[in-house]
Amino acid sequence: MKVGFVGWRGMVGSVLMQRMEVEGDLPKHDWTFFSTSNAGGQGPMSSVLADAEDLEVLSSQEVIITCQGGDYTKSVYGTLRAKGWKGHWIDAASSLRMDSKALIILDPVNRDQIDRALENGTKTWAGGNCTVSLMLMGLGGLFDHGAVEWVTSMTYQAASGAGAANMKELVAQAGYVEAKTDGSATALDLESRVSELLRSDEFPTQSFGHPLAYSLLPYIDSEVEGGQSREEWKGMAETNKILGMDSHIPIDGICVRVGSLRCHSQAFTIKLKEDLPLDEIEGMIKEANNWVRWVPNEKEATLKNLTPTAVSGTLDVPVGRVRKMNLGPQYLSAFSVGDQLLWGAAEPLRRMLGILEERQ
């Protein structure tokens, strides 16, 4: 297929390139790599970069994959379609997710919907929000079995979700503190010095606007009506769209940025429709896909396997801390971790390209 790639150099784009290299996807296609700033320059695979605003070259592609961000999508997608371009648009950004012509893609979770949409002529595909995709990779089995009445998801989101500059800033913040403290001071003196540094005007906060290292930020994305943040709003809207539910499952929670680099974690409270035995729940979760990893609710297994440290850079989505809560036999707790750059961003796009390739 003739495939155009915009935003291949950014963080999500680079992870997608790496994944396609590892999986041997690159030689399968005739690639054009686009650039918003360096058209004519040297691109990957000995290519010459095309201009990402050049509608003619864009129109000659059968598929366009973009990790360039929402502003690019807003400036180019509508114009291309208005010009009559009928190719497949695969987008990492959120701009088109709730568009009625677009499907939010998460193969294997909604592979049947992807196939149906292809039959029906859908040509616009959007990767989901990372916390939503990671929740569904972990808990998809419970949704598939119709076991869920509602969910709260309290998130612990990595710096990478805010962008590459933010991820670097987290490390710079930790480095700033390290350079300006004396490890031999007492714990209390150390804490007081660190708090003083975090509150000082010199503390590096250009990207986040606030200290994240040695702290956390309980607000992600913009404000929406009703007191939710946009990240929290996406939880219910996108999950139900991905699952193609007739009746909406209520999902809500508080999304929090923490000092993890690229793994998002989530603590769930799940209200089950009925009091199911734990071994059945375990079976549903484990059997949903090839990447979910069941972690027994034991201290050692949890601390070894259910952390950003264990998961970072892998496609595994461990789910653990599963137990019935004191709230009643229909209330389940669970915790999951996933790499937000892989299943949370790049991998669903790569798999969509693979599905289009299979159908050629």
Q: How would DSSP label each residue in 107-169?
A: TTTTHHHHHHHHHTT--EEEEPPHHHHHHHHHHHHHHHTT-EEEEEEEEEE-GGGG-HHHHHH
CA 33, chain centre distance (Å): 23
Residue found by looking up tokens 């986040």 in the block: 208
Looking at the Cβ atoms of 58 and 103, the one nearer to ligand HSE is 103
Backbone φ and ψ for 218, nearest 5 degrees, come out as: -85, 45
160 token code pair: 């990478």
Q: CB under 8 Å to 146, separation ≥6 — which residues?
A: 273
Q: How far is the CB of 260 from ligand HSE (least distance, A)?
A: 10
Q: Give the nearer residue to ligand HSE in terms of CB position, either 147 or 162.
A: 162
Residue nearest to ligand HSE (CB): 161
280 strand-pairing partners: none
CA nearest to 152, candidates 341, 335, 299, 342: 335
**How many other β-carbons are positioned within 10 Å of the β-carbon of residue 311?**
24
In the complex, minimum distance from the CB of residue 326 to ligand HSE, in angstroms, rounded to a whole number: 31
Q: Determine contact, residues 232/255, Cβ cutoff 8 Å.
A: yes
Residues carrying an active site annotation: 130, 264
Nearest distance from C-beta of residue 244 to ligand HSE, angstroms: 20
Q: Which DSSP helix (H) or strand (E) runs through 65?
A: strand 63-66
Cβ closest to ligand HSE, residue 32 vs residue 160: 160
Distance (Å, whole) CA 125 – CA 203: 40
Q: Which is nearer to ligand HSE, 29 or 257 (CB)?
A: 257
Nearer to ligand HSE, 67 or 220 (CB): 220
Question: Cβ 230 to ligand HSE, closest distance in Å?
Answer: 8
Question: Binding residues for ligand HSE, per CB under 6 A?
Answer: 129-130, 157, 161-162, 220-221, 231, 340, 344
Specify which residues 248 forms β-bridges with.
Answer: none
Residue 153 corresponds to which amino acid?
Answer: S
Identity at 283, one-letter amino acid code? G
Tokens of 291: 């990447």
Nearer to ligand HSE, 93 or 276 (CB): 93
The minimum distance between CB 69 and ligand HSE, in angstroms, equals: 11
How is residue 284 written in tokens?
């549903």
Minimum Å gap between C-beta 153 and ligand HSE is: 13
